[in-house]
Amino acid sequence: MLKRRTLKLIHLLGTTWFVVCTGYILLLSLRQAGVSWLIIFSFSGYSALLVFLVVCLYLFAIYKSGSRSQKIETEHPLTCTFHYKVFNLLSPFLGSLSGWFAMSGTEDATHFFFGIALGSFAATFIVWVVIDPIVGVLETLTPAARKFKAQRVAAIRAKRREQELNRKRLLEDLLAEERRMRNLRGKLLQPYAQELAQLVLEGGKNFRTAESKAVDIGLKAWQMGGLDCMRQLYDISIELSKKKIQQNVGADYISSWWDGIGTWRRWSPV
């Protein structure tokens, strides 16, 4: 835990110093190009805000990634060591130190600080962009790293296949349970479906009485299982009506009678 906090602090300080050095190089380059201070200051506020936001997002990403291991020590035996991480994060300061020694004989303060800033920028770029990726790739080419990576990838694939099989089995179990419940519900709804089909046949003779009984049946179906139960009862009743009268005259009857029961609407079965 202490080492992790130390690395985060070093990274914060190193990144801040790198941004300061980069800003100094940019500022000095603009002045040497003849850009006036008025123009520089007119854009400095917006630029500083943009740089601040970018750095904050970058540090937040580094902080989150640093809270968990991004590399596996078996595959990266060098870059995962504490000493290498310290060297990597101290590269902005080491570059400034080398620039200090290189410009030690310079009397011009502007050029002296420019050398320090340039050393920090160059060292950071070389270490973070060139050396670190190359070392990381070379580590993975060792026999032990390649063997471990192959085992790790195989284990990940096996775990994914197991999870996929578990999801499929769960889905099949849910579908089987749904079919079982539907079959059981169909047996319970059979008497109501027969009565409802008979009411459809008698609807033309005594429409009000048939409607009242059909509403009671629909309400019972709603109480038993909601809209799904009503739809199942509707389907069974329509099938029975078709068998008896060889036509689909009962659909509008039932749909109209049940309109307003629970969430049933005339277009529900469609």
Site of tokens 């050393």: 119
The domain ranges of the chain are 2-140, 159-257
**pLDDT tens per residue, range 98-120:** 988 888 877 788 888 888 998 99
The pLDDT, as a whole number, for residue 255 is 82
Comparing 59-68, 117-126, 257-266, the range with the smallest average pLDDT is 59-68
pLDDT digits (tens, 9 = 90+) for 187-235: 888 898 888 888 887 765 677 888 888 889 989 888 888 888 888 898 8
Q: What is the mean pLDDT of residues 242-249?
A: 61
Whether the per-residue pLDDT at 39 is higher than 80: the answer is no
Q: Which residue has the tokens 């410009």?
A: 103
DSSP string, the chain: -HHHHHHHHHHHHHHHHHHHHHHHHHHHHHHHTT--HHHHHHHHHHHHHHHHHHHHHHHHHHHHHHTS--S-TTT-TTTTSHHHHHHHHTHHHHHHHHHHHHTTT---HHHHHHHHHHHHHHHHHIIIIIIHHHHHHHHTTSHHHHHHHHHHHHHHHHHHHHHHHHHHHHHHHHHHHHHHHHHHHHHHHHHHHHHHHHHHHHTTTSHHHHHHHHHHHHHHHHHHHHHHHHHHHHHHHHHHHHHHHSS--HHHHHHHHTTTSTT--TTTT-
Whether the CB-CB separation of 17 and 91 falls below 8 Å is answered with no
Higher pLDDT: 56 or 19? It is: 19
Per residue in 123-138, pLDDT (tens digit) is: 988 988 889 889 888 8
| 3-state helix/strand/coil string of 33-92 | CCCCHHHHHHHHHHHHHHHHHHHHHHHHHHHHHHCCCCCCCCCCCCCCCHHHHHHHHCHH
> Mean pLDDT over residues 41-54, rounded?
55
Indicate the residue type of 226: G
**And the tokens for 38?**
């008025």
Mean residue pLDDT of the chain comes to 79
C-beta of residue 247 within 8 angstroms of C-beta of residue 239 = no
Judge whether residue 50 has pLDDT over 90. Answer: no
Taking residues 19-30, report their average pLDDT.
80
From CA 27, how far away is CA 65, in angstroms rounded?
32
Q: How many percent of the chain have pLDDT more than 70?
A: 79
Percent above pLDDT 90 for the chain: 14
- Model pLDDT, residue 68: 42
- What lies within 8 Å, CB to CB, of 217 at 6+ separation is 192, 195, 196, 199, 233
Pick the residue with more confidence: 88 or 66?
A: 88
Residue 121 to residue 115: CA distance in whole angstroms: 10
User: Is pTM, for the whole model, over 0.85?
Assistant: no
| First CA to last CA distance, the chain | 63
